[in-house]
Amino acid sequence: INNFYTMTVYNKGAEVVRMLHTLLGPEGFRRGTDRYFERFDGQAVTTDDFVSTLEDASGRDFSQFRRWYTQAGTPLLKVGRDYDAQAKTYTLTVAQSCLPTPGQPTKAPFHIPFKMALLDRDGKELALHTDDNSAGDTERVLELTEAEHTFTFTDVPSEPVPSLLRAFSAPVRLEVNLDDGELAFLMAHDTDEFNRWEAGQQLAVRVMLRLIQVLHEKGRPELDAGLSQAFGATLEATDLDPAFVAEALTLPGEAYLGDFMPVVDPEAIHVVRQFLRRELAAAHRGALTALYERLAEAGPYRIDAATMGRRRLRNLCLAYLAELGDEEVRGRAERQFYEAANMTDAMAALSVLVHTGAPEQHPALAAFYDRWRGDPLVLDKWFSIQATSPIPGTLEAVRRLTDHPDFTLRNPNRVRALVGAFCSGNPVRFHDGSGDGYAFLGEHVLELDRLNPQVAARLLTPLTRWRRYDEPRQGLMRAELERILETASLSR
């Protein structure tokens, strides 16, 4: 290993610590960490020292939990559910498994905190009565330690909708047979924000995959009513944090959607995602416009969390409205750009103008460049906005920008801002059927390899996924990789 800055160390490592917090509760975890710092401050210690200290402070046995540090892979939880209307009982069956990995053909069960609740048809959390929980808490952390567990809840008046893996209580994959109606219900009503967001993401993915199939069959796509209603319920909710609403109403990205397809179709994915954004904007134009106006800032610029959340939601409203492509919305974006008192609003408005191909983009881009040409990090944003525009002709524009006086291959940030942003952040244009995007990347990888081989290697990543695409694109991507490999002076 020569790089500790990995997803496993930072992201998964943090999630493992957070599971300990979930299992111990805030007070128990705090007692353990206080003792940890008292015992080890200033020393070189191990993950086992940390877990052992939490055990000492809590009296818990985390021997099985240590498998998170010794077994590779991501556990899969498969959940079965059954409601007995006559007995008024609701049963969850949770089975865990983990695929073999090199050197570990079989995996022992993990210790997994599984936070859950049951919601009635009004979205209210039900009391969870079990043999070991007569108090009837409305949310519980079930501890999974065996290959399969069965949990039965009593006094359940009607069939509930389960809210499972609340707050993402463990870094696992979850399979549960929720139908579209249940996902729409959770998106509109779940009292756990993570699950409310996750339900919306799952529903949007399902809807977009169906729309792609309709597109392939030359059918007529239509807006899914359940998704639209749940979208509206979240948009018009007055008791939600605006930052959360912005997150919840952002559709899954094009690259993410491609992960759900056996063969990635970048063009169909883009068409369907834009169709859905446009239809949602049309269906909720009044609410989006009213919210955009209501969230306008008054008074001096502030950077507290609440204000930042309102800005983000307001700019999301503008981005949705921009999909309608009318002059009124373009005028609103143009005014926001020139009147913006902060970078967030200026960038959001500029992105709308550039990514919709509005004629107003050209003077706006010139004005932004003139103002910020002396700030390299801000100028990186100027390059990236243009590189990620999904409109036709973007590759030609990016090629012109590589000749810009402020572009240089000797600045890794500038390379990532333009070449990297186009190749990794603009799937529909990079994966154009002509293969021109692949050739563009190959040219710059070879040139950059002489200056900064590590950056060149990282930049090449999109081409290494060639097996995920259709045969014509596979051939073009593989040919570009082979052309690079044939270069005599290629670095290790």
Q: What's the average model confidence in pLDDT over 139-144?
A: 96
Q: What whole-number percentage of the chain has pLDDT above 90?
A: 92
CB atoms within 10 A of CB 358: 20
Q: What is the pLDDT of residue 61?
A: 97
| C-alpha span between 30 and 356 (Å, rounded) | 50
Q: What's the average model confidence in pLDDT over 109-118?
A: 98
Place of tokens 């990532």: 416
Q: How confident is the model at residue 6 (pLDDT cuts 50, 70, 90)?
A: confident
Which segment of 19-23, 113-117, 322-326 scores lowest on mean pLDDT?
322-326
Contact 408, 414 (CB under 8 A): yes
Residue 1 has pLDDT above 60, yes or no: no
CA geometry: angle at 151 spanning 52 and 72, to 5°? 45
> For residue range 376-434, what is the model confidence (pLDDT) as tens digits?
999 999 999 999 999 999 999 999 999 999 999 999 999 999 999 999 999 999 999 99
Q: How confident is the model at residue 492 (pLDDT cuts 50, 70, 90)?
A: confident
Higher pLDDT, 40 or 134: 40
Q: What are the CA-CA distances from residue 345 to residues 102, 175, 297, 332 (Å)?
A: 48, 39, 11, 12
Q: How confident is the model at residue 5 (pLDDT cuts 50, 70, 90)?
A: confident
> For residue range 183-214, what is the model confidence (pLDDT) as tens digits?
999 999 999 999 999 999 999 999 999 999 99
Contact 139, 149 (CB under 8 A): no
Contact 120, 126 (CB under 8 A): yes
Q: What's the average model confidence in pLDDT over 283-309?
A: 93
CB atoms within 10 A of CB 35: 15
Q: What is the pLDDT of residue 412?
A: 95
Q: Which letter, b or e, does each residue of 460-476 get, where b requires 16 or more Cβ atoms within 10 Å of its Cβ? A: bebbeebeebeeebeeb
Surface-to-core class of residue 241, CB atoms within 10 Å of its CB (0-12 exposed, 13-18 middle, 19+ buried): middle
What six digits make up the tokens of 165?
């893996």
Q: What is the pLDDT of residue 104?
A: 96
Q: What's the average model confidence in pLDDT over 166-183?
A: 97
Q: What is the pLDDT of residue 3?
A: 64
| C-alpha span between 461 and 476 (Å, rounded) | 15
Q: What is the pLDDT of residue 406?
A: 97
Contact 354, 389 (CB under 8 A): yes
Contact 187, 196 (CB under 8 A): yes
Q: What is the pLDDT of residue 2?
A: 59
Q: What is the pLDDT of residue 373?
A: 95
| C-alpha span between 126 and 119 (Å, rounded) | 6
What six digits make up the tokens of 475?
């051939």
What six digits make up the tokens of 398?
């990016």
> For residue range 231-272, what is the model confidence (pLDDT) as tens digits?
999 999 999 999 999 999 999 999 999 999 999 999 999 999
**Residue 263: DSSP 8-state:** S
DSSP code string of 123-192: SPBPP-BBTTBTT--SSEEEEE-SSEEEEEEB---S--EEEESGGG-SS-EEEE---HHHHHHHHHH-SS
Average pLDDT, the chain: 95
Q: How confident is the model at residue 489 (pLDDT cuts 50, 70, 90)?
A: confident
Helix (H, G, I), strand (E, B) or coil at 82: strand
CB atoms within 10 A of CB 338: 12
